Amino acid sequence: MGQRIYLIRHGETEWSLSGQHTGSTDIPLIARGEDAARNLGLRLREIPFARVLTSPRLRARRTCELAGLGPVAEIEPDLAEWDYGDYEGLLSAEILKGRPDWNIYRDGCPDGESPGQISARADRLIVRLRGLVGNVALFSHGHFGRVLAARWIGLPLGEAQRFQLDTASLGILSYERDRVESPVIALWNAMGVPR
């Protein structure tokens, strides 16, 4: 089996629970988020990782630590969440009151990242990932993880909205028959240890 990219979204926080847009605000995991991160660690413990990369945000780093991969993790700035700019901390419902047709994948965020910027960031990371050998664990965030998945399989950024990504979930980006020209999503939005 060739390279597999294990994409892990951080565990639950107060803001992910409430639905507030959390880009650069560093808030901790809640107890349920910590428990889910430990559970993910049970699923990941037998996988030999050549590299472990994490967003610089506390919630992703803590998820990585609780999953048991903290000691070998490297900070990867490109794994950070979408920069929400003026929409940081707001609920989608609050944003839609002022902009009823707003769609982050089309419109981006004022004083934050544009769709073009986040797509370019994901593409840059994909180029680096494809240059690595072996399994790679990525600890990241909801919107950025969705963008990364869409771009991995060559979809335009707007299609990322079709990939639900829950907290403390696991996705696997890989290749059909180990052919780099045939990227696939081998697993998506899986939770912890199968029951």
Catalytic, out of 34, 81, 88, 113: 81
CA distance 31 to 162: 29
Would you call 113 a catalytic residue per the annotation? no
**Secondary structure of residue 137 in the 3-state scheme:** strand
Please give the backbone phi and psi of residue 54, each rounded to the nearest 5 degrees, phi first.
Answer: -135, 150
What is the rounded (10 degree) CA torsion for 21, 24, 25, 27? Answer: 90
10 flagged as catalytic: yes
Task: Write the CB contacts of 163 (distance below 8 Å, at least 6 apart in sequence).
Answer: 145, 146, 149, 150, 188, 189
Structure tokens at 171: 């996705």
Phi, psi of 105 (to 5 degrees): -70, -20
> Regarding beta strands 135-140 and 49-54, do their DSSP bridges make them parallel or antiparallel, or are they unpaired?
parallel
C-alpha separations of 173 from 11, 50, 62, 65, 187 in Å = 20, 15, 22, 22, 7
Q: List residues with catalytic annotation.
A: 10, 81
